[in-house]
Structures are given as C-alpha cells and as structure tokens.
Amino acid sequence: MSKVKQQENDHYLKNFLTFLAQDIENNPTHIHPISFDLFNRAQSLVAGIDVDLDTPLCDEDE
C-alpha cells in the first residue's frame, strides 16, 4: 500500500464527489445528522492516534 500521487487521486476524488452530489440532489431525505453518541464513540476509537500522511507506510514506499 502506498500514498497515491495527487494527480492520480484527483480523478477518483472528482468522480466520487460528483456521485455524492448527484445522490444528495436525488435523495435529500437520506441525509441525517449523526447522533452525539455515535460521534463520541468515533472520537473514542481514534483518541490519541496521530497520523502523519507524509510518512511512508513502509521502507519500500520512500
């Protein structure tokens, strides 16, 4: 696994955002806020985890 280069990522990101925008437009009733309980649970799962996206995942990625 390696970090995707920005230009490669843009194509997939654009397609996903287009899909998301169309889905929101076609199904606005599907949008619901998350509950405080779910938010707090998610926060507890990642508490204390630091991520540096510029650090290679392994030596081969450098």
- pLDDT tens sequence across 1-55: 566 666 666 888 899 999 999 999 999 999 999 999 999 999 999 999 998 888 8
Q: Cα(52)–Cα(47) distance, rounded to whole angstroms?
A: 15
Q: How far is CA 12 from CA 3, 5, 24, 41, in A?
A: 14, 11, 18, 29
Predicted TM-score of the model (pTM): 0.48
Query: What's the distance, Cα to Cα, between the start and end of the chain in Å?
Result: 12
The pLDDT value recorded for residue 60 is 66
Collect all residues with Cβ–Cβ distance below 8 Å to 53 and sequence separation of at least 6.
Answer: 3
The pLDDT value recorded for residue 4 is 61
